[in-house]
Amino acid sequence: MQSSTPTLARRYAFKLLANVASVPVYLAMEAILPRALGPRMYGNYSFATNLFQQLSGFLDMGTSTCFYNALSRRQNETGLVGFYLRVSLLVALISLLAALCMLIPPVGEVLMPDVPLWLAPLAALWAFLTWWGRVLRSMNDAVGATVSSEMVRTVVSLLAVVLLGALFWGDWLNIHSLFAQQYLMLGATALGYWLVTRRHWRQLDVRVHFRPDKARNRAYCREFFDYSHPLFVQALLSFLLLAAERWLLQWFDGSAEQGFFALSQKVSMACFLFVSAMTPLVMRELSIAWGQKDREAMARLLTRFAPLLYVVAAYFSCFTLAEGPALVNIFGGAEFTAAILPVQIMALYPLHQAYGQLAGSVFHATGRTRVLRNIAALECVYGFATAWFLLAPPELLGLNLGAVGLALKTVCVQCLTVNLYLWLASRFIPLNFRRNLAHQIWSLAALALLAFACRQLTIDLGFGDLDSFGRFFISGVLYSLLCLVLCLAVPQMLGLSRRELRELFIRLKKSRRTAP
């Protein structure tokens, strides 16, 4: 059993390689969509899909995390999978009913202002398939089938971008063909994930039985209810807050500003792809460590990986911050010039998104979901107040900053909330909060300084036009080399001591010698 499950390092390596492969795919898709749809329709697409994505997150109410943690501990319990299949069908049914309600003009025109109402059912199906794909992917991580799962994701992603490119160059890409392409990609990915899990069970000679008896079914209901019912308030408040802030932007500023913010959000998500490979794997290890009542192991995991993931995110975020004008020119073109400042602000979002997932995973793994609920209630108050102040017009006591305002709110509120999570986590596991906070500040300042210096140097030396791809590429190469030198000179950037860095190089040399 032990030998059949790849190590954490190997699983992370495959996740990271899959994410590396998906970056050009993701960037190609996001370079195509804004140009093909334009700011208004791109904004409509983003608003509608985000609304139903938030609804799926609310209906989830932490049950997918409970499922992931439970399956990580009881990997051969296929009745647990059958139980969660029923939960998923309930999520799909409620999402569809909500979409049908949106087609009623008095309801849809209020909840989706200035957006075609026929987008609602299309967006609802897209949101459910996206959520279900994440569930199946986490299921593969839970049973240790990460390697095959990531191979499936990489292959499907490559085929998807080829299809999207063919639609674009053939001048067939519109909102309808886009949804069709997305359904095909999401459906194929979900099917691939499911086949990987079935093959994993078959290899281990696990009897697949998806129909738990009544006693087992009641036990699952109690387990999920005990875990998730404190998260109901958190899920509801998060749904209301995140949906309300996008609704405020749509109501006060319209679809074009929605499109500018959507582009900034997509660019920030590209920065997070490298970090997102590791967070579910660390969460699995945290869950196992808590099951063994080993708080020291939990602290070691966070101390080792939190600074590393933060710096990886900061590496991409700082370069995006410095090269925002070039990125907007490459992805959106002249129509999206107003998105430059939102893109630069949202470039900082992946920094604390990494920390947030790790800190939140501590509370999920330990079952302290009441803390998550209480923080969500507090965030709802200061988050919505900040969103209103930045988005509302002056006559309603706001600054009316549009996409810039929502980007500022998103980054600042997340920074405050995540550090609150870290502080609370440090109260019951031996984690040095002050050292982590200091590391966030000085490592970000160092990388931002390098990024802006590289941009200015390539401009002064005349490497192409100001926002040309050639100058952008040279700046990126120079920035990467300087970051590598900085990390080798100051290993504390990665959360390592010099001794740990030397030991790492020694292990790498040994592995190269023993490799066939």
The mean pLDDT of the chain is 85
The pLDDT assigned to 324 comes to 93
Query: Over 60: is that where the pLDDT of 414 sits?
Result: yes
The closest of 508, 505, 447 to 480, measured between CA atoms, is 447
Q: What is the pLDDT of residues 41-57, one digit of tens each?
A: 999 999 999 999 999 98
Q: What is the pLDDT of residues 364-400, one digit of tens each?
A: 777 777 787 788 888 888 999 999 999 999 999 999 9
Higher pLDDT, 5 or 135: 135
Q: What DSSP assignment string belongs to 10-36?
A: HHHHHHHHHHHHHHHHHHHHHHHHHHH
Question: Residues 6 or more apart from 229 whose CB is under 8 A from it?
Answer: none
The pLDDT assigned to 11 comes to 60
Query: Over 90: is that where the pLDDT of 213 sits?
Result: no
Q: What is the pLDDT of residues 419-434, one digit of tens each?
A: 998 898 888 888 888 9
Higher pLDDT, 308 or 50: 50
Contact 209, 82 (CB under 8 A): yes
Length of the chain: 516
Q: What share of the chain is helix, strand, coil (3-state, %, to 5)?
A: 85, 0, 15
Query: Over 70: is that where the pLDDT of 279 sits?
Result: no
The pLDDT assigned to 497 comes to 79
The pLDDT assigned to 360 comes to 78
Ranges 9-23, 24-38, 399-413, most confident = 399-413
For the entire predicted model, the pTM comes to 0.82
CA-to-CA distance for 218 and 268, rounded, in angstroms?
42
Determine what percent of the chain is predicted with pLDDT higher than 70: 89
Higher pLDDT, 508 or 385: 385
